[in-house]
Amino acid sequence: MSDNDKIIDEVTSSDYKYGFSTQLDSDTLKPGLSEDVIKQISLKKNEPQWMTDWRLDAYQIWKEMDEPEWANVNYSKPDFQKISYYSAVKKKQIDSLDEVDPELLKTFEKLGISLDEQKRLSGVAMDIVIDSVSVATTFKKTLKEKGIIFCSMSEAIQEYPELVKKYLGTVVPKSDNYYAALNSAVFTDGSFCYIPKDVRCPMELSTYFRINEAGTGQFERTLLIADQGSYVSYLEGCTAPQRDENQLHAAVVELVAMDDSEIKYSTVQNWFPGDSTGKGGVFNFVTKRGVCEERAKISWTQVETGSAVTWKYPSCILKGDNSIGEFYSVALTNNFQQADTGTKMLHLGRNTKSTIISKGISAGHSHNSYRGLVRMGPRAKNARNFSQCDSLLMGDKCGAHTFPYIEVKNPTAKMEHEATTSKIGEDQIFYCQQRGLSPEAAIALIVNGYCKDVLNQLPMEFAVEAQKLLAISLEGSVG
């Protein structure tokens, strides 16, 4: 076998091994949710009994719960009996880019996404590109040498059951909230990552490299464990717009940061937001949470531009003394999008510190809410929080709302909260135009300046893409 053949063989065979086997490919469960459906999901995924039981338990919990009403968003609730919870049917293959929505292609082009990548993202059948395959292979090899595990959740359940069993649901319990319970019962796949003690992960871990496992579906489950003294930077999502026939997305992400470890978790979320009238977009209800042991640090950085409805609060439980939580967020809404995002910083340990920088941008008829909770527990001596929540409005038909919740149970804890609301000034746009920028370029520039503190937290390449994405998402909102 030539080297190239070997690479192809490796990838395709692992695809077969960890993905869905061929005879299941045409399988779709009938819509609806019941104990039986969950058993079937588990069976089709060839899961051990403990996993099946775990799912069933979650299902029982979910059945008793009510869908939350409190987020500042309006949508017609999904009918959970109309969703099919398991579909192994391959996505409809398209033969060439000519069949792809030209609007989508235009966006790809503006983002500077390569032709091959465009094909992959829009589901065009394509031969394996040797280049990216070998990149992925080298990547896996380097990780393996360091003892880092980075694989799909399905694979982890098969190969590393002890780790999964030990940590799954410890940060986001099954009973945490309605969507977390649902996810626990029916999740189909996601990512699993373990960084061993004192290992510094040498590259940004990105779901992008898991090329053989694209399209993890609507109930994604991610578990990331950083053992003592380790470091990892994890990138989730993709700046290219992702379409999906599934309207409801309810992901759960759990981070475990043990003593002296650090996790940087960066997300660019760009699900289809619906058309300019707001029809057809994705509902994105995500539970993300991390727990920090002593001196550990978790940073959440997110750039949210997609989805019709977003409901998402990446949070940190600062359990260990001297641990640090950070949240940097840009949430942009346009047209009829609604976003209700923010964070929770739960200070349990002594000398714990948290920083919250939230930048909301609303345009069109959209609504953008920041909801943040900072809780200083009774043991949180000398805990510190700094929060800054800014809103930028474009036009007068959109809305920005800020809901800060503060609970302090220790008198030595200190918090600082700053909030501003501003508009892009016509004089700013005119100034830029006078220097040769189009109004669109002017707005992109002003918005990037406004988001700088957050974009600076992203890895360089991701930041550049995120900047372009912000500009594109605001197109047509001038005037």
Total number of residues shown for the chain: 479
Q: Rule CB under 8 A: which of 245-264 touch another protein?
A: none
Site string for another protein, 373-412 (x = CB under 8 A): ----------------------------------------
Choosing from 294, 448, 459, 468, the residue that interacts with another protein (CB under 8 A) is: 448
Binding residue (CB under 8 A) for another protein from 105, 129, 373, 445: 445
Binding status of residue 464 toward another protein by CB under 8 A: no
Stretch of 62-70, 87-95, 306-314, 445-453 contacting another protein, by CB under 8 A: 445-453
Give Dmax over CA atoms of the chain in angstroms: 69
Region near another protein per CB under 8 A, out of 15-23, 76-84, 277-285, 449-457: 449-457
Please state, as a whole number, how many other Cβ atoms lie within 10 Å of the Cβ of residue 48.
14
Residue with smaller CB distance to another protein, 211 or 437: 437
Strand partners, 229: none
Alpha carbon separation from 145 to 139, 148, 199 (Å, rounded): 10, 8, 11
450 counts as binding another protein under rule CB under 8 A: yes
460 touches another protein by CB under 8 A = no
Contacting range for another protein; rule: CB under 8 A; set: 260-268, 293-301, 375-383, 451-459:
451-459
Q: What tokens were used for 297?
A: 């640090």
- The tokens for 285 are 């209800």
Q: Is 126 or 464 the residue whose CB approaches another protein more closely?
A: 464
Nearest to 143 by CA among 225, 190, 52, 205: 205
State how far the Cα of 56 lies from the Cα of 64, in Å rounded to an integer.
13
The DSSP annotation for 267-329 comes to EEE-B----TT-TTPPEEEEEEEEEE-TT-EEEEEEEE---SEEEE--EEEE-STT-EEEEEE
DSSP structure string for 401-469? EEEEEEEE--TT-EEEEEEEEEE--HHHHHHHHHTT--HHHHHHHHHHHHTHHHHTTS-HHHHHHHHHH
Give the nearest distance from C-beta 418 to another protein in angstroms: 14
By C-beta, is 214 or 419 nearer to another protein?
A: 419
Q: Are 328 and 302 in contact (CB under 8 A)?
A: yes
Each residue 405-444 as x (binds another protein by CB under 8 A) or -, in order, gives --------------------xxxx-xxxxxxxxxx-x---
Asked if 452 is part of the footprint of another protein (rule: CB under 8 A), the reply reads yes
Residue 345 or 361: the one with the smaller Cβ distance to another protein is 361
Judged by CB under 8 A, the stretch of 129-137, 338-346, 406-414, 448-456 that binds another protein is 448-456
Please tell me the count of residues contacting another protein according to CB under 8 A. Answer: 23
Q: How far is the CB of 392 from another protein (least distance, A)?
A: 11
- For the chain, the 3-state helix, strand and coil shares in percent, each to the nearest 5, are 30, 30, 40
Compare residues 131 and 426 and give the one whose CB is closer to another protein: 426
Binding site for another protein (CB under 8 A): 425-428, 430-439, 441, 445-446, 448-453
